[in-house]
Structure 1
Amino acid sequence: MKVLMKAFAAALVLGAASMGSAQAETVKIGVAPEPYPPFVSPDASGEWGGWEIDFIHAVCAEAKLDCPISYIAWDGLIPALTGKKIDAIINSLSITAERKKAIDFSDKYYNTPTAIMGPKDEDFPATPEGLKDKILGVQVSTVHAAYAKKHFADSVSQIKEYSTQDEANQDLAAGRVDAVQADQIALDAFLKSDQGKDCCKIMGTVAPDLEVLGPGVGIGLRKGDDKLKAKFNAAIKAMRADGTYQKITEKYFDFDVYGDDVQSN
């Protein structure tokens, strides 16, 4: 009987160890609680959803990771990552040389054009000449702000920075700025709203600048976190191969947002 009890106890220990090893690794994901439809936006109950939230759930499931989401203001995401308050950023973070000085990135998981939006009753190109003497709105700490300062600073009368893209769009609709720059897909989402369709339109896409705009959007990671990077890269590749990525995309877009390797938001 003692032998049986010992065997039973040993089996329980082995079972508990097995269960512990089977538990998914917890990876805290940082997302800014700011409307950026169709990538991130709140529903009527205040729950956040969208293409990127669906992507988070899918890529973590594929990588066998438990990924609770921490909502942090946009300009606090990288400090939260380097300060180990979160483990990854999945929030339309473009892969750029400047950001790579502080953090690392996964392979890209989407890449869409950058555009200029202006008043519906005006026509001007998305160029320095077209924006001459205009007030241009951009979201602070984004590649759009960096691009505007590099390419438009000498032609516009002012580059006005906002905490969120939604605030910039609202000021364009109210006539407080003459144009805004952002990811074209996000601007298209605003143009489908009641306010957007009445006030504004896309003027065109900006000239490519791989150094500033980067090759696409990737998952932000701490430098040296190579194991997590490998897991995310493998998961992105698997999702593209098995159709999971396409199924998520079809809910929000009528084209493949994975895009090319020239420019990103």
Structure 2
Amino acid sequence: MKIAKLLAAAAALALSASLAHAEIKKVRIGTEGAYPPFNSVDTSGQLVGFDIEIAKALCEKMKVECTFVAQDWDGIIPALLAKKFDAIVASMSITDERKQKVAFTDPYYLTPGNFIAPKDTKITDISPAALKGKAIGAQSSTTGATYLEDTYKGSDIKLYATQDEANADLAAGRLDAVLADKFVLYEWLEKTDAGKCCKFVGPDLKDVNPQGTGIAVRKEDNELREMLNKAIKEVVADGTYQKINAKYFPFPIN
């Protein structure tokens, strides 16, 4: 009798898990739309970029219907917690501070931080001592901003709502350098007229984003997080990830 009851309980638990999985048919994805080439808005008003294509590929693997919601970066985690959307696919670096509020998938790409400066800069050393008194910019509420505030206390740190605004001030001569994710800066330097003003300075800073970039979900949404992790492995295994990667970068980013 006890064995029969245990088997019945196990079957009920398996059915419950199956039903819970089946309940996830639609997923709303939040992204910034101001962080090219990862996420931006094209001339027709559509969200485009690496993050968007990866998200669509993951949704296809999960066999769910996905919609996208554009959200300002500073409010993106509060909007997730308020259930404006179900997951953040917006090049969000995984940090211990953010883990206190949300749960992350496995990283879907890895990126170091880098400084850029005008091509005629005299900066060769990017140590805190060498950049003391220099005006340095970063996008607010990013790992780059935190890294500057923690490490470059002697510099004049200026934070911006978007990466484009920081880059624009650098191009206009109002900053001595900008710190951001290497791949985002590469896009601006290589593919925009404004970026022709500037160049990378100093080595990669791998400790800016040591845990990589992941997808954030609410802590209670473990089923969705597990589905996303499985889908990430699948798009890498079948070559989908590499095709999307090659469309945006001439080098692997995972």
TM-score (norm 2): 0.87
Of 227, 243, 248, which aligns to 2:244? 248
Q: Please state if 1:180 is matched with 2:182.
A: no
**Where does residue 127 of structure 2 map in the other structure?**
127
- In 1, the alpha carbon distance for the partners of 2:233 and 2:195 equals 36
- In 1, the alpha carbon distance for the partners of 2:148 and 2:106 equals 25
Q: Please state if 1:225 is matched with 2:236.
A: no
**Within 5 Å, which residues of 2 pair with 1:126-145?**
126-145=126-145
C-alpha offsets along residues 207-258 of structure 1, whole Å, 9 cap, x if unaligned?
443xx63410000010121100110000000111111101111111111111
**Where does residue 92 of structure 1 map in the other structure?**
91
Aligned length: 232
- In 1, the alpha carbon distance for the partners of 2:213 and 2:201 equals 23
2:109–2:253: 8 Å Cα contact kept in structure 1?
A: yes
Shift of 1:22: 8.1
Letter in 2 for 1:58: A
Shift of 1:206: 5.0
**Which runs of at least 4 in structure 1 moved beyond 4 Å after TM superposition?**
21-24
TM-score (norm 1): 0.83
- In 2, the alpha carbon distance for the partners of 1:85 and 1:180 equals 32
- In 2, the alpha carbon distance for the partners of 1:87 and 1:44 equals 26
- In 2, the alpha carbon distance for the partners of 1:24 and 1:203 equals 46
Shift of 1:104: 0.4
SS in 2 for 1:98: helix
SS in 1 for 2:169: helix
SS in 2 for 1:247: helix
C-alpha offsets along residues 140-167 of structure 1, whole Å, 9 cap, x if unaligned?
11111111011111x31x1101000000
Shift of 1:23: 9.0
- In 2, the alpha carbon distance for the partners of 1:204 and 1:222 equals 37
SS in 2 for 1:28: strand
- In 1, the alpha carbon distance for the partners of 2:124 and 2:64 equals 47
Note the residue ranges of structure 1 that are not aligned, 5 or more in a row: 1-20, 259-265
Q: Please state if 1:166 is matched with 2:174.
A: no
SS in 1 for 2:253: coil
Shift of 1:196: 0.9
Q: Please state if 1:257 is matched with 2:253.
A: yes
**Where does residue 235 of structure 2 map in the other structure?**
239
Q: Please state if 1:76 is matched with 2:38.
A: no
- In 2, the alpha carbon distance for the partners of 1:66 and 1:126 equals 46
Shift of 1:175: 0.8
C-alpha offsets along residues 163-209 of structure 1, whole Å, 9 cap, x if unaligned?
00000000000011111100111111111211111x11111245443
Q: In terms of Rg, which structure is larger?
A: 1
Letter in 2 for 1:89: I
Q: Percent identity?
A: 47
C-alpha offsets along residues 21-56 of structure 1, whole Å, 9 cap, x if unaligned?
98971111001121x221123333332211111111
**Structure-2 change in CA distance of 1:46 and 1:204 (3 Å):** farther
Letter in 2 for 1:252: Y
- In 1, the alpha carbon distance for the partners of 2:203 and 2:91 equals 18
- In 1, the alpha carbon distance for the partners of 2:218 and 2:68 equals 17
Note the residue ranges of structure 2 that are not aligned, 5 or more in a row: 1-20
